[in-house]
Each structure stands twice: as structure tokens, then as C-alpha cells.
Structure 1
Amino acid sequence: MSETTTGRAPGRPRSERADKAILDATLDLLARESGVAGVSMEAVAARAGVGKSTIYRRWPSKEALIVDALGAAKAPLPEPSGASAREDLTEIARALAAERGRRHLQCFWNVLGSAGRYPELYARYKKDIIEPRRAIVRDVLRRGVATGELRADLDIEVAMSMLVGSLTPRRPRETFPEGYAEAVVDALVKGIGSARD
């Protein structure tokens, strides 16, 4: 059978177990003090217990591997119900505040801190991981403006950055207190809500 009829290239099927081992090994290495510089295809292969060719068949570069590993470690944001801007923002804020996991946060800070040395990696991480999540927040804010819940002159980018920035830990081990996500949304909506509210 051809690739067009089966949906994949001929050859042995991919092993989910190998994929998981490779992604976990990548995150383990990325979370170390050496960060991005400490991640290599050789080091990942050795840690995951697979051959280097197994990794290259799946990922063409270290950057692609790191971005996929970071994406796999992040749970998707909830699909907003559309009940109201406040409720949707609260749901998103709770999900952002609950994103704990020391390893993933350390990886995030290591990638962020290496943006100057690895600009292509950071650009890809921003495009593939950060921007789709921010787009969900933008959609909620635009819908809130359209329904009149939020101010007609709202700067969507500023409001989105205020919400996401407030819920981005500033240190790898930082945690947010109970009720923090709701307090962030309450304060934000007070500032960007329409006069009628």
C-alpha cells in the first residue's frame, strides 16, 4: 500500500513507548542546569534507550524535538464554553494557575533564558506552543467586546498579556495561592468591563 492509502510512510510503525521515552528524556535533559545546551540527539538517545536514527526518523532537529517535548508536557487549555467573558476567562485562568510541575517550569525558563543563543528554537516554541494558547484568550476577549461585556475600545493584546502574564510563574518553584486565578480575572474585568457592568 502507498503512503496515500495508509496515511503513513511504509516501514515499521512508530512505537508510542519509544516516543514517550524520547520526549521524557528530552525534558529531563532540558530541565538540568545546562538547559538547551545540554540537549543533544546523542544524549537523548542514550537516556531514552533508543538509537539516534530512531530520533532522527521522528524529529529532523534538536529544536523540533524540544518544541514537541514541551508541547506534550502542557495540557491543552479548556475550550471556552462561551457562557460569558468572565466565566471563560476564569476557566482559562484556573487552567493556567494549575499548570504546575517543577520539571516543565524549569524547561520553560531554560528555553526563555536561552532565547538569545537559540533564537530559532524560541521562535518555534512561541509560534507552536505559546501563540495557539494566547489565541484562545484573544478569542474570548473579542467575543466579550462583541457582546458588550467588555469595553469597545479594549486593547486585546494588552488585556491578553495582563491575564497570561499574571499567571506565568516568575520562578520555577513558584506556586499561586488558592483563589489567585479568580482574583486575577476579577481585577482584570473590573478594568476592562463595559460601563453597563
Structure 2
Amino acid sequence: MTETTTERRAGRPRSERAERAIVEATLDLLAAESGVAGVTIEAVASRAGVGKATIYRRWPNKEALIVHALATVKAPLPEPSGGSVREDLLELALAMGAERKRKYAKCFWNVVGSAEKHPTLYARYRQDVIEPRRDVIRAVLARGVRGGELRADLDLEVGVTMLVGSLSTRVPGEALPDGYAETVVDTLIRGIGAPGS
């Protein structure tokens, strides 16, 4: 995690237990019906059993706190093993599919759904959490183009969006059906694979 992601402030040594309680409180509030609107520093402090000053020593504002909390549960995608493009995309698709079963899957939908009301939060979430993950997929597709496995004219952004979109548009928190990730990757490869490959 970079210093910019967390925007930590100098002060007393951190209490890991307090930090964990703050993050969990933030995620619990974010996953609730009111979503982003329900996350306030006061509500987080009350739920975590800490003072507001404890939160402000670690994060300068609500947006920084939410992005940090989301980053703790949406880990970077694994570095693919470097086999074929299909193998690497499947590895990534399965990793993304496994995340859907996590307790806080709804948090991400609530942030995306409130992008219009909270554009700064969404932009920061996209920059700090989402784009590094998309970079991993982009790199696999770029390698596929260079190696002749994928079409030379492939628009990498379209390829990334096709993979991510097909895995993320299903009901939040619901596990993907068996074989779904394989079907998505195979369908994608049929469309973007190099002719004759």
C-alpha cells in the first residue's frame, strides 16, 4: 500500500486493533443500505469504539478512509504464471470470481453506484484500487498481442472491460456458477484471438 493511498499522518504509534476495528466499521457501514452516505467519521468512530481523533490521525477524510478500507479487502490480482493467454486470463478470472463470495462484496457496488454523487471518492477508488488490477489484465493482453496469440488490432481497454464486465455484472455477493469463468474466458478468446490461432 502506498503512502498516497492511505495518506497517513504523523502522530502516536498506531494500534493495529484500533485500525482493524475502524476498517471493519467502515466496511460494515458501506455495505449497509445507505452505502456511502451512511459512512461518516462519527458513525465509524462510534461503531469502532474509538474517538474521531484516532481516525483523523490515520486518514484526513472520509474518502481516504473508504478507499483504504476497500483496498484491504480487494487485494491486488495475482501475478499470472505466464503460460498461455488463456491460462493467465482464466487464473485472473477465477481470482475475481472468488472475491464475489466475500462478506464485503456489496461495498464495491455501493461505491460504484454512488459515483455521480461522490465523484472524488469514485475517482480515487478507481485510481488506487481498480486501475492497478486492470493493469495486470492489460499486461496479459499486451503480451498476447506481442506473442501473436491475440489479434494485432486488439483494443486493450475493450478487452479488459469485456473480461471484467462479464464477471462483475452478476448479483453482488453471489458466487459465479461452476464453469462460468472458463466460459467467459473461452468466449473472449474466440473473439480476440489471432486468426488461425
TM-score (norm 1): 0.91
Aligned residue number for residue 82 of structure 1: 82
Q: Relative to structure 1, is the Cα distance of residues 119 and 10 closer, same or farther in structure 2, using a 3 angstrom cutoff?
A: closer
CA contact (8 A) 1:90 1:185 kept: yes
Correspondence 1:35-54 to 2 at 5 A: 35-54=35-54
Please tell me whether the aligned partners of residues 85 and 141 of structure 2 are also in contact (alpha carbons under 8 angstroms): yes
Runs of 4+ with deviation above 4 angstroms: 8-11
The CA distance in 1 between the partners of 2:195 and 2:101, in whole Å, is 40
1:73 aligns with 2:77: no
CA distance in 2, matches of 1:186, 1:11: 52
**What is aligned with 1:24?**
24
* Residue matched to 1:160: 160
Deviation at 1:16, TM superposition (A): 1.3
Show the counterpart of 1:129.
129
Q: Quickly say closer, same or farther: Cα 1:193–1:40, change in 2 above 3 A.
A: same
SS at match of 1:60: coil
CA distance in 1, matches of 2:73, 2:144: 30
CA-based RMSD of the aligned residues comes to: 1.6
For 1:83 and 1:173, locate their aligned partners in 2 and report how far apart those are by CA, in whole Å. 30
**2:117 equivalent in structure 1:** 117
In structure 2, the partner of 1:147 is: 147
The 2-side partners of 1:138 and 1:102 are apart by 25
- Amino acid in the other structure paired with 2:52: K
Q: C-alpha separation between the residues in 2 aligned to 1:37 and 1:103?
A: 20
Superposition deviation, residue 85 in structure 1: 1.0
1:191 aligned residue? 191
How many equivalent pairs are there? 190
Distance 1:105 1:9, change over 3 A: closer
Equivalent residue, structure 2, for 1:94: 94
Distance 1:90 1:10 in 2: 42
- Percent of residue pairs bearing the same amino acid type: 67
Distance (whole Å) between structure 2 residues aligned to residue 177 and residue 71 of structure 1: 26
1:25 touches 1:48 (CA, 8 Å); kept in 2? yes
Alpha-carbon contact 1:102-1:172 (below 8 Å) kept = no
Distance 2:188 2:88 in 1: 13
Q: Residue by residue, what CA displacement relative to the aligned partner does 1:75-115 show, whole Å, maximum 9, x if unpaired?
A: 32110121221111110011011112464222112111211
TM-score w.r.t. the length of structure 2 is: 0.91
Q: CA deviation at 1:62?
A: 0.1
Residues 1:33 and 2:33 are matched in the alignment: yes
Q: Does the aligned pair in 1 maintain the 2:25–2:48 contact within 8 Å?
A: yes
Distance between the aligned counterparts of 1:103 and 1:46, measured in 2? 21
In 2, Cα distance between equivalents of 1:88 and 1:172:
24
